[in-house]
Amino acid sequence: MEIKEGLTFDDVLLVPKYSNITTRSQTDLSTKLSKNISLNIPLISANMDTVTESAMAIAMAREGGIGIIHRFLTVEEEVEEVLKVKRSASVMIENPYTISPDQSAKDAINYMHEKGVSGLLVVKDSKLAGILTHRDVMFESQSNKLIRDIMTKDVITAKPGITIIEAKETLRQHRIEKLPLVDDKGIIRGLITSKDITHNEDYPNASKDKKGRPLVGAAVGVKGDFMERTEALLNADADAIVVDIAHGHSENAINTIRNIKKAFPNCELIAGNVATARGAEDLIKAGVDAVKVGVGSGSICITRVITGSGVPQLTAVYDCAQIGKKYEIPIISDGGTRTSGDLTKALAAGASTVMVGSLFGGTDESPGSFVMKNGKRYKIYRGMASFYAALGRKSKETGNVTANEDLNDYVAEGVEAMVPYKGTVTDIIKQLAGGVRSGLSYCGAHTIPQMQQNAEFIKMSRAGFAESQPHDVDLM
């Protein structure tokens, strides 16, 4: 038996090359997420229930990456998370939230809180009748006053087709925050807000769809309601669907890909995880628009321990990237990334983007509550093949987990852990992106594709790895 050597990030370094880059701003981190979607930075937040819901996805899109909403929600809940991202910023809100003038102030407050908005358009007989803002109902939390008695009736409006510059001037001139777009019949056709305009100016690098809304992806499984879930997510304008399965080189995954592509041929479909060139090629032939690579490399994944299976991440990415290049299908490196150096090595080995989990866990934007341990703040972080994640998934799928079930049927391939509180994810994204920009300059490259052409790896010993770390000093 010939035993192939496998390498991971700590086994190699990139050989420095001549560079004519004088400042990191000369580098360009734009890349492909999938066949038809581009990003401004090569970062994806993982579709894990302790990493990505709407708050994380919004933050990722603002910085130029993308978040993938996890699938361990009901269909309605996952759709709502996608809609929250899409509504968080746009050139124009096409379907603004509305309320009837015959409802109460209490109803309005509850609705605003549910949808996370600060204002509602009041509609009667399908036409704009007024506008209700947070200021109108600030002290009416228990009030039964009707909305018609507290709303603003003389609403400043504009016609559909108004430019952003014109809308900005109208908002400034009238000192208002919301500008409904109304046609000649009084029917609401959209809404422009000062918040959305400000977001466009504050986040020039944001990743957006054709309508100027944040990009967002969403995950589905390979069993049960995956077709209905996919349809609902696409109807909510999810930009990419991720077929989420630990062992992606399988009949289940390939059949799912074919079924989704047959029903929704225009869907941007990402699938994985695989760890071999053959696995990547089989998914590509089944119809995917990007392949997710990584088996057992995640910080809370114990697949290699439990099953004895896996491929060291650098080798897996490199092998799959050769196939991806052949078919012009992007490769996503998923797992094993602990530093911006690891991120740079994954990209240099051929990945177009890198999916990150643990680095983004413990941030303000990750789901879950804070816990205290020894006076320090933490958040729970768990693998999606962990014991409690499996129980949660079973509960979502069947409605309950009975006491009669044999818990030995659940063979965990992930663990639950706590990660320290890290603050906002925006700071982490900027540090990672800055490290990659420096990595490009050391490779003498202005772009990620250029770095992939220039990249030369060198293996290092354990002594070489130790030499790469801080040594012979007392760290402060």
- Side-chain-side CA neighbours of residue 192 (13 Å): 27
Contact call for residues 84 and 116 (beta carbons, < 8 A): yes
Q: Which CATH number do you get for residue 322?
A: 3.20.20.70
Tell me the mean pLDDT in the region 220-233. Answer: 95
- Residue 438 or residue 139, greater confidence: 438
pLDDT in tens, 96-138: 899 999 998 888 888 988 888 888 999 998 889 999 988 888 7
Q: From the annotation, which residues make up the binding site for NAD(+)?
A: 244-246, 294-296
Q: Are residues 295 and 153 in the same domain?
A: no
At residue 90, does pLDDT exceed 90? Answer: no
pLDDT score, position 19: 94
Question: Are residue 66 and residue 157 in the same domain, yes or no?
Answer: no
Per-residue pLDDT at 389: 56
Number of domains in the chain: 2
Asked whether residue 317 falls in the same domain as residue 346, the answer is yes
- Asked if residue 304 is part of any domain, the answer here is yes
Tell me the catalytic residues: 301
More confident residue, 297 or 435: 435
pLDDT at 394: 52
Let me know whether 194 and 218 are in one domain.
Answer: no
Please identify, among 151, 179, 202, the residue that sits at the C-terminal boundary of a domain.
202
State the pLDDT at residue 405.
Answer: 53
The closest alpha carbon to 97, from 79, 82, 114, 78, belongs to: 114
Residue for token pair 């379907």: 95
Q: Clarify whether residues 240 and 282 are in a common domain.
A: yes
Q: Please indicate, yes or no, if residue 135 is contained in any of the structural domains.
A: yes
Detail the residues annotated as belonging to a binding site for K(+). Answer: 296, 298, 301, 467-468
Calculate mean pLDDT across residues 1-29: 94
> Quick one: average pLDDT of 447-458?
97
Residue 357 placed within a domain: yes
Instruction: Give residue 308's pLDDT.
Output: 84
In a domain, 64, yes or no: yes
* SS3 assignment, position 105: helix
Radius of gyration (C-alpha) of the chain in whole angstroms: 24
pLDDT of residue 116: 81
Q: Residue 472 — very low, low, confident or very high, per pLDDT cuts 50/70/90?
A: confident
Instruction: Single out the residue in 147, 178, 202 at which a domain terminates.
Output: 202
Least confident of 135-139, 269-273, 350-354, 435-439: 135-139
* 235, pLDDT greater than 60: yes
Output b/e per residue, 135-153; b: 16+ Cβ within 10 A.
Answer: ebbeebeeeeebbbebbbe
User: Span 36-44, mean pLDDT?
Assistant: 98
Q: What is the mean pLDDT of the chain?
A: 89
Extract the tokens encoding 468: 């790469």
If asked whether residues 179 and 318 sit together in one domain, one would say no
Question: What pLDDT is stored for residue 421 in this prediction?
Answer: 92
pLDDT per residue over 187-210, tens digit each? 999 999 888 788 777 898 999 999
pLDDT at 318 over 70: yes
CB 16 within 8 A of CB 44: no
CATH number, domain of 148, equals: 3.10.580.10
User: Quick one: 244 and 107 in the same domain?
Assistant: no
Same domain, 310 and 445: yes
User: In the listed set 185, 202, 219, which residue is the last one of a domain according to the structure?
Assistant: 202
Same domain, 39 and 130: no
Residue span of the structural domain in which 337 resides = 9-88+206-468
| Bridge partners (DSSP) listed for residue 31 | 39
Instruction: Look at residue 4 and tell me if it is in a domain.
Output: no
Binding residues: 244-246, 294-296, 298-299, 301, 334-336, 357-358, 381-385, 413, 467-468
Euclidean distance between CA atoms 190 and 97, whole angstroms: 10
Give the contacts of 292 (CB within 8 A, at least 6 positions apart). 242, 248, 270, 271, 272, 273, 274, 332, 334, 355
Please give the full DSSP string across 65-94, using - where no structure is assigned. -EEEE-S-S-HHHHHHHHHHHHHSS-SSBS
**Of 390 and 443, which is predicted with more confidence?**
443
The residue with greater pLDDT, 109 or 300, is: 109
Which residue is it, tokens 């918040």? 195
pLDDT band at 303 (very low <50, low <70, confident <90, very high): confident
Q: Which helix (H) or strand (E) holds 371?
A: strand 370-373
Q: Is residue 93 part of a domain?
A: no
Do 269 and 326 fall into the same domain?
Answer: yes
Whether residue 224 sits in one domain with residue 192: no
Determine which helix (DSSP H) or strand (DSSP E) holds 169, and give its type and residue range.
Answer: helix 164-174
Residues 6+ apart with CB under 8 A from 191: 92, 93, 96, 121, 178, 179, 180, 181
Secondary structure string (H, E, C) spanning 194-231:
HHHHHHHHHCCCCCECCCCCECCEEEECCCCCHHHHHH
Give tens-digit pLDDT for 152-188: 888 999 999 888 889 989 999 999 889 999 998 889 9
In a domain, 3, yes or no: no
In a domain, 473, yes or no: no
What residues form the annotated binding site for IMP?
299, 334-336, 357-358, 381-385, 413
Is residue 21 domain-shared with residue 136, that is, in the same domain? no
Secondary structure element (H or E) that encloses residue 182, with its range? strand 178-182
